[in-house]
Amino acid sequence: MVDCKPVATPVSTAKAETGVVVPYADPTQYRSFAGALQFLTHMHSPSTADWVALKRVLRYVNGTLHLDLKITSSLSLDTHAYFDSDWAGNPDDRKSTSGFAVFLGTNLILWVCRKQCTVARSSTEAEYKGLVDVSAEVTWLVSLMKELGFAPPSAPKLWLQVGFFLEEPPSGSP
């Protein structure tokens, strides 16, 4: 692609063809190229810490290959979300981290863990910010369910998870 003809937009403005979908002949080549594009997004000025973080991700993947996510038939459309936040857990910028898991019936359908955008002044504020995040996601999910014709039988329930661990619990913990 070094000598390719440049274009002005990243996505074609032509209408997509409908009908027959032809699989790409070399999926390995496609994955390699897509991975190279992702690689470009992280190449501005990588540091030693970035390298260590990338290796940690690979170690995590290696240690979790045996895990899977089971989706089972569920008669319930009840929505439950469990959330938790730490307070000023990042030592560099003192921002809090929030995480939540959303279940539809017995099935985990959404999970998120991310640093909050602003610094919380108290643990209560950090929890409220986490509550706002999970509420927005659950509101969107309920809206999507209604649009698809699956109205939830009851209002979603949000639960503050006490003792949520982002890392392994200390040895000796139940």
Domain count, the chain: 1
Q: Which residues span the domain enclosing 151? A: 79-160
Residue 131 near residue 105 (C-beta atoms within 8 A): no
Tens digit of pLDDT for each residue in 57-105?
A: 878 888 888 888 888 998 899 999 999 999 998 888 999 999 999 999 9
Cα 75 to chain centroid distance, Å, stands at 26
Residue 39 belongs to some domain of the structure:
no
Residue with tokens 């190449």: 43
What was the pLDDT predicted at 173? 39
Residue 114 belongs to some domain of the structure:
yes
Please state, in angstroms and rounded to a whole number, the distance separating the CA atoms of residues 142 and 55. 38
Residue 21 belongs to some domain of the structure:
no
In the DSSP assignment, the letter for residue 100 is E
Residue 91 belongs to some domain of the structure:
yes
Residue 122 belongs to some domain of the structure:
yes
Q: Of 28 and 164, which is predicted with more confidence?
A: 28
Residue 121 belongs to some domain of the structure:
yes
* Residue 170 pLDDT level (bands cut at 50, 70, 90): very low
Tens digit of pLDDT for each residue in 12-55?
A: 666 666 677 788 899 888 888 888 877 777 777 778 887 888 78
Residue 87 belongs to some domain of the structure:
yes
Residue 119 belongs to some domain of the structure:
yes
* Residue 174 pLDDT level (bands cut at 50, 70, 90): very low
Tens digit of pLDDT for each residue in 105-163?
A: 999 999 999 999 999 999 999 999 999 999 999 999 999 999 999 888 999 999 987 65
Task: With H, G, I as helix, E, B as strand and everything else as coil, classify residue 85.
Answer: strand
> How many H-runs (helices) and E-runs (strands) does the chain carry?
3, 4
